[in-house]
Amino acid sequence: MKISKLFAVHLLWMSVLAGPVMAQVQTTKPADSLKVSTIDAAADTVYPGQKKPFTEAQLREGSNKRYLKRAVIPAAALIGAGLYTMQDNGFFSSHDARDARNQHTPKFSTKLDDYLFFVPIAYMYGFNAFSSQNRHDIRRQTGLLLASGALTTAIVFPVKKLTDIDRPNGDPTAFPSGHTAYAFTIATIVDKEFRHKSPWISVGSYTIASATGVMRVLNNEHWMADVLAGAGVGILSVNTVYWLHDKLFENKGLNTALVPTVLPNGKPGMGLSVTF
**Consecutive 10-residue runs of the chain (276 residues): their mean pLDDT?**
44 43 37 36 44 55 81 95 88 92 94 94 84 76 94 97 96 97 96 86 95 97 98 97 84 48 58 48
pLDDT of residue 216: 97
Q: Is the dihedral of CA 187, 190, 193, 194 positive or negative?
A: negative
Q: Which of 126, 31, 72, 29 is nearest to 238 (CA)?
A: 72
Residues 185, 149 contacting (CB under 8 angstroms): yes
pLDDT number for residue 173: 96
Nearest to 20 by CA among 184, 194, 176: 184
Provide the pLDDT for residue 219. 97
Residue 118: DSSP 8-state: G
Nearest 10 degrees: Cα torsion 156, 87, 94, 120: -40
Yes or no: say if 233 and 183 are a contact pair by the CB < 8 Å rule. Answer: no
Helix (H, G, I), strand (E, B) or coil at 254: coil
The CA angle 91-235-51, to the nearest 5 degrees, is 110
pLDDT at 61: 62
145, 125 contact by CB (below 8 A): no
81: DSSP letter: H
Backbone angles phi, psi at 141, to 5 degrees: -55, -45
List helix spans (H) across the chain: 3-22, 56-60, 63-67, 73-84, 94-104, 119-130, 138-163, 178-194, 199-218, 224-249
User: Cβ distance 228 to 217 under 8 Å?
Assistant: no
Contact criterion met (CB below 8 Å) for 258 and 270: yes
Give residue limits of the domains in the chain: 3-275
Other beta carbons within 10 Å of 265: 6
Predicted local distance difference test score (pLDDT) of residue 76: 96
